[in-house]
Structure 1
Amino acid sequence: KIYKEYLKDIDSEIDRLTNLIQKLLDLTKITEQGLNLVEVPLIELIEDSIKVVKPLAQSSNVWITVDIQNNPTVLCDPERIVEVLINLIDNSLKYTDLSKTERYVDITGQNRTNSYLLSIEDNGIGIKEKDLESIFEKFYRSDFSRSRDTGGAGIGLSIVYNILKAHNWSIGVESKQGKGTTFKIKIPNKFLLIP
């Protein structure tokens, strides 16, 4: 019985390391191979992302809402942008504040003067101010994420940052501990087609 538990732990660690290696290879591909840019409705990218994270949202009792103004079409690498959205929504779900009865992730999009702003907002545990400046660095994990053991390696947000940088898009983050976090993706107008 003890050997079975050891084997299960080893198998779990192999899966985690395989996933980490795959993410690192993906990060290398972004810089070496470039992007496969096509025009795609932004809402399709969001819906594809939600399908992946929906089981985790349901098991965490988190509502995901979407409100995308003008439903723009964006010029992007759809596979990569879906990866970005999955990472951001998944983070919101992993850091849910279990003490709250109402838990949500709101995905909104709004026109700005020279860009389109896509926001992913949650009412989770939030991020300490001291961690905000390092959050997009490769292998960075806050003290809390290490203590909560979410299974991450600190590479997800670095991948998000680098994919968006390769698209010439940008990302920022606002957070208050105990209140929640908002990631804001800025899509320049030259990558938009608004009907």
Structure 2
Amino acid sequence: MRVDAVRNHRVIIQVAGDLLCHHGPGVSMDAIASAAGVGKGTLFRRFGDRDGLVRAVVDERTAQWWIAANERAADVAVPARERAIRLVDEMFELIVLRLRPLMAAMERTECTGGGASLPRWGVQLAELIAEVRPEADGEFLAKVIIGSMRSEMVEPGQEDTLRVNVLALTSSVLGD
């Protein structure tokens, strides 16, 4: 990749993430292109469409978190039930508290568990659920848990209550 293309990619991801986080999921591609100092066509050539751009921003902002969370979730020295609850708590921190506007934009693309496929952290959760409860449909239950963290579930000022409820749901899904 050319040096200017690498720079443009970094700038676009940063600017798009900042705009989405500060102004919500309705930010236009025109606004992103203008703020990044590139043409709108560059966004479409690089990311395909708005959904591709949003996915790239979320992937960039979750990459380091995912590496650490995946390592903890894979630690077989810790019981699978405990790893699943810890993963859900970490997901809550990321999805609801740190990246809520970005995740709302992702929900519009149906990439966070509301659509046909699970994000990679959802796949990890489904595997942990299946390890704890082999008779259960781990993928479905992971979608239910992740779905309980969607932006429309979060009432301003009620994040702590939602966290308690999401963790209680997870504990219930996992059984005693």
TM-score by length of 1: 0.29
* Relative contact order higher in (CA < 8 Å, ≥ 6 apart): 1
**Structure (1/2) with the larger strand percentage:** 1
